[in-house]
Amino acid sequence: MHATQSAVVAVTGGILASVFIAALLALLFICRYRLCANAGSSLKKEQGSDVQQHGFHVSRSDIHLISSIEMEDGDYIMDSIDPEDLVIHPDLDKVLESHRWKWVDDALGIVPHCLQMLKGCHLLSERLVTTAMASTEQQKFVELAMVAKSVLPLVDDVLRSMCPPIQPRGVENRAAALLRGVNHLGSLTEQTCNVSWPSDILDEMNMHYQKLKAIARRSEIQFRNEQNLEADGVTIVESCMT
């Protein structure tokens, strides 16, 4: 039973830890293409016009979580994972703090809040693994693993929404879905492990979501105002012509 429990805990940790790693890889992938796009116009012509108006050549379909592809099979073998193989690199936090996201065209300031929400997922995964390793309630951790697996496509959606051209309302909707999924996971963790720390992480993630939501609302209002001005301008021109 101990070996099975360790396998369940390993899968739970692996699923959540992969969220953070995949987010980092996706963002670095975007940044690399941003720098390459600025290197010369010839490279832009070769890459096509997927999002040419923003100077990027990364399509939303290019962003995939490795784990979301690997874990699609319902008969995934838990015993094939060693917990030691899932240790998160100690320098990952330092890489995120290097502000590489500034290379992305994000005049509205949406990406930093998305990154903070993903960092919350990473912190939750680290603390969940530590707590779960000390528990003996196997069945409850099987349920945690299933909930963690359900969060993966939500993270994938957030990553895709961060690819240019960024649509603030779309990012907000996907971030809201992610927050709901992580809230479920956090609540289940509190009930399973009899701990309170997930609430602190969820509060931090919710704070960044509220800021992201406010940005999306302002952007939507500005867009509507611009449309109204354009419509008024057309009306004035038509009146003058008649």
Span 32-58, pLDDT tens digits: 545 444 444 443 444 444 434 333 334
Q: Give residue for tokens 């099979």.
A: 73
Instruction: Give the pLDDT score at 7.
Output: 64
0.75 surpassed by pTM: no
Instruction: Give the pLDDT score at 226.
Output: 74
Instruction: Give the pLDDT score at 66.
Output: 36
Instruction: Give the pLDDT score at 76.
Output: 42
Instruction: Give the pLDDT score at 72.
Output: 46
Nearest to 156, CA basis, from 200, 105, 208, 121? 121
Instruction: Give the pLDDT score at 46.
Output: 42
Higher pLDDT, 191 or 132: 191
Distance CA 146, CA 13 (A): 12
Range name among 69-73, 185-189, 206-210, 226-230 with the lowest pLDDT average: 69-73
Q: Give CA separation, 34 vs 26, 55, 100, 160, 220, in Å.
A: 13, 7, 11, 16, 26
- Residue 67: pLDDT over 80: no
**CATH code 3.40.50.620 for 2-241:** no
- Residue 9: pLDDT over 90: no
Instruction: Give the pLDDT score at 119.
Output: 87
Instruction: Give the pLDDT score at 181.
Output: 92
Mean pLDDT in residue range 15-23: 66
Instruction: Give the pLDDT score at 80.
Output: 38
Amino acid at 60: R
Range name among 137-141, 144-148, 221-225 with the lowest pLDDT average: 137-141
- Residue 145: pLDDT over 90: no
Instruction: Give the pLDDT score at 6.
Output: 64
Distance CA 207, CA 153 (A): 22
What integer best gives the mean pLDDT of the chain? 68
Mean pLDDT in residue range 195-221: 93
What's the distance, CA 217 to chain centroid?
Answer: 20
